């Protein structure tokens, strides 16, 4: 699929051929969205009106269906970015006497550790290097040795690098050891399939503005109903209490506090686009193709990826900075930005890197245009060798 330029500015003629476009967001989110998804926000909704209550109910149901979790789980949306939803989930599901084992191989694993510190929840970390996936066997032995651990928190795709953690195997180990699994599926939900029957979890957390191709401002957790029912009073926060948020929605369909009405309407539309595209498998295939085009094209130019291909998720790619002294990330970024492509700085601690995302309403045409822009930029900078200092 090749998505059409999709972001219009005020005054542009959507029917015209020469539409000025917003920059493509080759980032881990917010991402480029379709014109129709943005246009879905062009109304005002009363938050207590039946039309909006229905919309919330529909979006909650559709999100549950995406992971086939309708039988045992409920979907609890929460205002804010993805971190708000992760914080609400840990704060609500982990009781004060609980202990969390966090699998860390990047920033988002470390963020869950930070949340445990803020909330005073006992925790420990099982860490692998940023280019190495979490290790289910090591997890199994830590759980066997530490009966105090009640919850395991794992990141599906660690967006710091784009590495895919083996969530199916992790879930099996956690279920086998009879602990509770919390999955941060922020950057995979909607593109890399998880089936609640095959990957048992007590909570899976994501947000509207990544692979679902919705707008930022809304997170959600898919939580095992029976665990949520037993979590009343755990949350140390008023607004980030998933149990109370859920009770409010169940009692009268209304949000406890002002909902991001427009963002929910946009997500409702974005979910229809996901269906029309062919669901999670088709979206994952488009991102896979995007990723392939970028990997081949950048490698042909001499860039070296920070990850081995067998652990790379088709979400975001991390590249080692060229050793050529004429390469300067800020100049590279600004030059690409002028051409209409926004990339991301690297976040790895092990090397100087930059990242290029392959999610959002973008397809083959935009990926090839990205490669052309990188090529012209490198030439303009006078960089003749894109290989890095170290491998």
Return phi, psi of residue 258, to 5°. Answer: -45, 120
Task: By CB under 6 A, name the one of 93, 155, 170, 336 that touches ligand PLP.
Answer: 155
Of the ranges 79-87, 194-202, 366-374, 380-388, which one interacts with ligand PLP (CB under 6 A)? 79-87
User: Rule CB under 6 A: is residue 318 a binding residue for ligand PLP?
Assistant: no
Q: Which residue is nearest to ligand PLP (CB)?
A: 82
Spatial separation of the C-alpha atoms in residues 26 and 313, rounded to whole Å: 15
The Cα 106–Cα 103 span in angstroms is 9
Among 105, 150, 161, 207, binds ligand PLP (CB under 6 A): 207
Q: Which stretch binds ligand PLP (CB under 6 A): 164-172, 184-192, 195-203, 245-253?
A: 184-192
Q: Which helix (H) or strand (E) holds 205?
A: strand 203-207
Q: Which is nearer to ligand PLP, 103 or 373 (CB)?
A: 103
Does position 159 interact with ligand PLP (CB under 6 A)? The reply is: yes
Q: Does 314 bind ligand PLP (CB under 6 A)?
A: no
CB atoms within 10 A of CB 214: 30
d(CA 185, CA 206) in angstroms, rounded, equals 5
Q: Considering the complex, what minimum distance in angstroms separates the CB of residue 318 from ligand PLP?
A: 13
Which of 207, 335 has the CB closer to ligand PLP?
A: 207
Residues 6+ apart with CB under 8 A from 125: 101, 102, 103, 104, 109, 113
Compare residues 184 and 324 and give the one whose CB is closer to ligand PLP: 184
* Rounded distance between C-alpha atoms, residue 211 and residue 28, angstroms: 9
Question: Closest separation between CB of residue 341 and ligand PLP, Å?
Answer: 19
Nearer to ligand PLP, 83 or 234 (CB): 83
Phi and psi based region of residue 298 (left: phi greater than 0; alpha: psi -120 to 50; beta: remaining): alpha
How, if at all, do strands 157-158 and 163-164 pair?
A: antiparallel
Binding mask 21-60 for ligand PLP (x = CB under 6 A): -------xx-------------------------------
Among 130, 184, 202, 244, binds ligand PLP (CB under 6 A): 184
Tokens of 320: 């080692």
Select from 186, 240, 266, 367 the one that contacts ligand PLP (CB under 6 A).
Answer: 186
Residue 81 touches ligand PLP, criterion: CB under 6 A: yes
Based on CB atoms, which residue is closest to ligand PLP, 64 or 186?
Answer: 186
Q: How many amino acids of this chain bind ligand PLP (CB under 6 A)?
A: 12
**For residue 371, cis peptide bond before it (omega within 30 degrees of 0):** no
The nearer residue to ligand PLP, 37 or 187, going by C-beta atoms, is 187
Interatomic CA distance for residues 249 and 63, integer angstroms = 15
Across 98-133, b (16+ Cβ under 10 Å) vs e yields bbbbbbbbbbbbbbbbebbeebebebebbbbebbeb
The H or E element containing residue 303 is: none
Examine residue 89 and tell whether it contacts ligand PLP (CB under 6 A).
no
- Reduce the DSSP state of residue 304 to 3 states and report it: coil
Smallest gap from residue 328 Cβ to ligand PLP (A): 25
Shortest separation between residue 264's beta carbon and ligand PLP, angstroms: 16
Residues binding ligand PLP (CB under 6 A): 28-29, 81-83, 108, 155, 159, 184, 186-187, 207
């Amino acid at each position: 699929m090749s998505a059409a330029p999709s972001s219009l500015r005020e005054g542009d003629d959507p029917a015209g051929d020469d539409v000025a476009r917003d920059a493509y967001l080759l980032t881990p989110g917010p991402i480029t969205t379709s014109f129709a998804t943005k246009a879905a926000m062009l109304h005002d909704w009363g938050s207590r009106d039946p039309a909006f209550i229905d919309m919330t109910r529909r979006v909650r149901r559709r999100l549950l269906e995406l992971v086939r979790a309708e039988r045992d789980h409920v979907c609890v949306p929460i205002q804010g970015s993805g971190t708000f939803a992760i914080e609400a989930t840990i704060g609500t599901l982990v009781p004060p006497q609980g202990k969390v084992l966090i699998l860390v191989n990047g920033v988002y694993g470390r963020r869950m550790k930070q949340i445990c510190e803020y909330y005073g929840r006992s925790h420990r970390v099982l860490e692998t290097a940023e280019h190495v996936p979490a290790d289910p066997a090591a997890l199994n032995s830590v759980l066997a040795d530490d009966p105090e651990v009640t919850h395991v928190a794992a990141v599906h795709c660690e967006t710091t690098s784009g590495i895919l953690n083996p969530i199916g195997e992790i879930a099996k180990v956690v279920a086998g050891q009879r602990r509770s699994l919390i999955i941060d599926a922020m950057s995979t939900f909607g593109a890399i399939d998880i089936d609640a029957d095959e990957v048992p979890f007590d909570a899976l957390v994501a947000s509207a503005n990544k692979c679902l191709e919705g707008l930022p401002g809304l997170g959600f957790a898919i939580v095992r109903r029976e665990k949520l029912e037993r979590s009343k009073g755990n949350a140390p926060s008023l607004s980030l209490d998933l149990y109370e948020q859920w009770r409010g929605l169940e009692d009268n369909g209304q949000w406890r506090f002002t909902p991001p009405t427009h963002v929910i309407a946009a997500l409702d539309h974005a979910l229809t686009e996901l269906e029309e595209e062919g669901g999670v498998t088709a979206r994952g295939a488009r991102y896979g193709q995007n990723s392939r085009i970028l990997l081949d094209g950048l490698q042909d130019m001499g860039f070296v990826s920070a990850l081995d291909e067998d652990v790379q998720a088709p979400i975001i790619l991390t590249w080692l900075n060229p050793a050529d002294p004429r390469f300067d990330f800020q100049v590279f970024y600004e030059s690409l930005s002028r051409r209409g492509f926004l990339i991301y700085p690297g976040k790895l601690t092990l090397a100087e890197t930059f990242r290029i995302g392959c999610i959002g309403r973008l397809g083959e045409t935009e990926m090839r245009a990205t490669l052309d822009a990188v090529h012209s930029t490198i030439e303009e900078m006078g960089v003749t060798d894109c290989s890095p200092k170290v491998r």
